[in-house]
Chains A and B, each alone.
Chain A
């Protein structure tokens, strides 16, 4: 595989163009992937990244342009054809059948059989070997995939790709739901794949990670290739500038805000799914970060505060008022609002309109004799859409059709419309584009300036350091330490989150 002359790219896309009706998704995009490279494909949501990789995989067909794999023309008819040609996709939404076992998932669609009856012996050996090669021998072949962690599921997908003899692996946001530890292990796997001559297209919004793992980059903006190059010698600022088309003066805009009296206090709060009791206070006009690895108890703490999980012990007070009932409607009436980490699953009613989603948690102002004033309601929704710069055709558009960033802004708009005083934000910037992120940071800061208290859960340390006033680090369900943000660093937070020692 190293015998191929360096001049022949593993993948060459030339002048790839795709229009959807009047919308230009891709316009004459060139994309060159060298063998054994990890090539980062960057751009805001809607820039055309997924259209490009869908064309590569065979899920979509380009209007114009040509593709070559190892110098040979390549025109996939469908994803299966793409897969057989050596192009495998590892999607953001994992493409596994949860009820089937590891083995069944790996061989799905390529089962070895005699007259329709399955033959399993040799295949099992090969899967075992591949998992060993990936340094994940602990994954049991007969375990149903739904019992595996997200990280392990990803390894199963990679295992499937390798057994397909994939030459090009497309990874779409592979680390967005991984712990730091699993991310490191994934990077090891990527390193191993490179040594085998596999080329990887790596799509991610985590730019620090991209710098760590990628050899080359290509930035798309508005369906065009606005810059490609080697990662070495390029700064992140340059890349961000390419992505947004202008310099973001400050990724973490900080508006003046002053810490006021206590807005939320937890006294030995212990929820059904929380490992230990948690104590802390959140003040008005404060952004308080909860850092830690995935599964360290931050989400569970938010859910217990908000009454989504049963409370076993302890006390929650908002503005000095004890929350007596462990129910979301009660917490909302006390002035709390939650933004769920699972935007599509529970954060939004995807098939409903922006108006419905934004106003759902506070319909009282539009109620007259039990009837809703629809006009006033959509007026209010439009106002918040304007404030948050939500891009949509109108307030009646279904949330499902919006980009991730706009969906997240709609979820935030609901809390603003609700006029919550204590905002519980769980991974509010996960999987959204840089510009939307910056806007959400700015709003958090603005809200703090208006005297709101904000709990901010994130697995992405740089944003916590950039946005928060104080940060608590969680480890196995317990708060390790609370310090002002200035007293933490990336390293000290990682140390506290992985060892439990401050």
Chain B
């Protein structure tokens, strides 16, 4: 019994990595791409491409563990990127513009959380509404165009060859790694993190035990918004313009990453490590498919299959002990 429990833990720990390893092995064994796929330059580029989805996934992991969902994530990223561009374009110091962009994301998240807890409506509906609202506001502010902004240090954040070369990876990638670690610690070692799990697992029980569920929800939706804000800044940094039509449908990629990483849409389950692996599984798949010269639709089909396969494997894993 004990040994089985231990084996179970090992399997649970390894399972998410297996998918990633599988994808890596698959592409590095393809004769056409094996020479290029695992090259440092390619790895760096995959890491940089992952930053935007990864930052969104950090917040989404909190929300999904807490039993919610945030469909407004991608619109929020677009809005934040537009705000950042607008700020820089208007002559604000870049740092202030960046903070403004992040804050915008936080405000959107806060409004999500406040509406969900005050109106007592399901998060799906509220954030679906917010998806439209944030996207609309972004287009409005940008006057339905791209906002050009002068190049500043902000655009270095996502540079594939970072300015001081000893950084090796783009500053945005480092930021992603540090924030992922911090969020993992937040979830595992703090009272707040445990309350997020409790709310997602059984909200009524959590409330009865004195957990301030509404406050916790507003906090994690706001955190998710702040992560989207930062992700929007990275989007701006990459594009060098504020584009209100960017990242359409990206919320589904973000949710998919969390779900592939073991997050349960009914709440109570998920991990930062898992979600990050989910992000990289999808990033390497995209990258590998592109190298193979496979058309876009093949990627879409493969990723669709991966989502279904990952979640059904997860089900099997959970069902076994009972």
Spell out A's residues near B (CB within 8 Å): 79-80, 83-84, 89, 94-100, 104-105, 108-111, 113, 116-118, 147, 160
Contacts and interface: CB of A to CB of B under 8 A. Distances in A.
A97 B202 contact: yes
Given A83-B210, A99-B268, A109-B206, A116 B190 contact: yes
Contact of A104 (B192, B198, B321, B322): B198
B202 A80 contact: no
Interface string B188-226: 011110110110111011111111000000000000000
Contacts of A80: 208-210
B192 A100 contact: no
A100 B321 contact: no
A155 to B, nearest CB: 16
B127 to A, nearest CB: 23
A80 B212 CA distance: 10
Contact of A97 (B191, B201, B210, B322): B201
Contacts, number: 73
Contact of B205 (A108, A111, A117): A108
A113 B207 CA distance: 19
Nearest to B268: A99
Interface string B254-265: 000000000000
A160 B202 CA distance: 16
Contacts of B321: 147
Contact of A96 (B191, B205, B210): B205
A102 to B, nearest CB: 13
B186 to A, nearest CB: 9
Contacts of A116: 190-192
Contacts of A105: 205
Contacts of B198: 97, 100, 104, 108
Interface of B: 189-192, 194-195, 197-198, 200-202, 204-211, 268-269, 321-322
B210 A109 contact: yes
B208 A99 contact: no
Given A80-B208, A98-B201, A109-B211, 9 more contacts: A79-B208, A80-B209, A83-B208, A96-B202, A97-B202, A108-B195, A108-B211, A110-B210, A113-B190
A83 B210 CA distance: 9
17 contacts: A79-B207, A79-B208, A80-B210, A84-B210, A96-B202, A97-B206, A97-B268, A99-B197, A99-B200, A104-B198, A108-B205, A108-B209, A108-B211, A109-B206, A113-B191, A116-B190, A160-B209
In the A-B complex, the 7 residue pairs with the closest CB atoms: A109-B209, A109-B210, A99-B268, A97-B201, A80-B210, A99-B201, A95-B205
A117 B204 contact: no
A299 to B, nearest CB: 15
A39 B200 CA distance: 35
Contacts of A160: 209
A301 to B, nearest CB: 19
B200 to A, nearest CB: 7
Nearest to B269: A99
Contacts of A94: 205
Nearest to A108: B209
Contacts of B268: 97-100
B205 A118 contact: no
B208 A95 contact: yes
Given A109-B209, A147-B321, A95 B194 contact: no
Contacts of B201: 97-100
Nearest to B318: A146
| Of listed A84, A95, A110, residue having the most chain B CB within 10 A | A95
B188 to A, nearest CB: 9
A117 B189 contact: yes
A80 B322 CA distance: 33
A98 B268 CA distance: 8
| Of listed B197, B198, B205, residue having the most chain A CB within 10 A | B205
A89 B201 CA distance: 19
Nearest to B199: A97
A117 B190 contact: yes
Contacts of B191: 111, 113, 116-118
A205 to B, nearest CB: 23
A173 B191 CA distance: 32
Contacts of B202: 95-98
A104 B206 CA distance: 11
B194 A111 contact: yes
B284 to A, nearest CB: 30
Contacts of B195: 108
Given A79-B208, A95-B205, A99-B269, A118 B197 contact: no
A118 B189 contact: yes
A117 B195 CA distance: 12
| Of listed A84, A99, A100, A111, residue having the most chain B CB within 10 A | A99
Nearest to A120: B189
